[in-house]
Amino acid sequence: MKKQGLILIVLLGIAFFAIRPFIISEIDIKETGISLDAKDTEETKTLEVSVEEIRKGNLLLINHEHAVLESSITTDVVHLQMEDELTEGYHLLDDEIYLSEEIAHKFSEMIAAAGKDGLNGFTVNSGYRGFGVQSELYEGMGAGRAMPAGHSEHHLGLALDVGSQEMKMAEAPEGKWIEKNAWEYGFILRYPLHKTEITGIQYEPWHIRYVGLPHSAIMQEKDFVLEEYLDYLKEEKRIKVTINQKKYTITYYPLTQTKLIEVPRNMDYDISGNNMDGIIMTVYE
């Protein structure tokens, strides 16, 4: 009986990972310290970074205190109504919805995964918004339900409002799926119910924001919203993260003027500002 039980457990485990292979089976986060003296080595080279980089990237904090600059808006915004390939598996609420092309691809990948789980009722209700549109929305809805122009994540092209054809997202299976699985594809639920005092925004089960991996995984693991995550990186300065045997090094650099930082010679990396006071470099090892 014991042997049969063991076999059954093993088979169930195999089936589980066959259904959903990307799960945080291992996440190890370590503070490693940081050297502020940048220099060329066999493994690294120096890169000059200007203060303008603070306002660019996928980790920008946009809220009541930190506004969007026009230079922060992604340059690959596309009209989704004209992109049939990018809208497979979900419906557009109207024909004037725009989004970063890169993020639209990421979203389509996520929707395809949800479809395999039997969810086919997703809608996209809003994506990129210009300052004029946001101003009209703010005047019509008021401060309690909308952000003033210049302070909305929708200006970036990285955020979108997602709905269900069946019911409100707070109760819909699509909303439950997003809350549980969006991080796997680099998205976060930006304004969760239990973090309203931190975000300053009421619960929005429909509003998702792209930050990318490994950041979305760390935020999911630690139950952080973006404000908390950026504070965490500032405090730790550098962390090394292992997620499902993939390794990443994430480093925060304060930036008040142009400076040199060390970047790897032979590994991929990206740099994002935080829209406050520094940049975050993510190295994919």
DSSP state at residue 67: P
CA 166/CA 129 separation, integer angstroms: 26
Distance CA 35, CA 52 (A): 22
Helices (H), 204-280: 215-222, 226-236
Structure tokens at 63: 């809220």
Q: Which candidate in 174, 179, 184, 204 is catalytic?
A: 204
Please calculate the CA angle 66-55-277 and round it to the nearest 5 degrees: 65
Classify burial at 65, counting beta carbons within 10 Å of its beta carbon; exposed 0-12, middle 13-18, buried 19 or more.
exposed
* CA–CA dist 136, 236 (Å, integer): 40
- 52 is a catalytic site residue: no
- Helix, strand, coil share (%) of the chain residues, nearest 5: 35, 25, 35
* Catalytically active residues, by annotation: 204
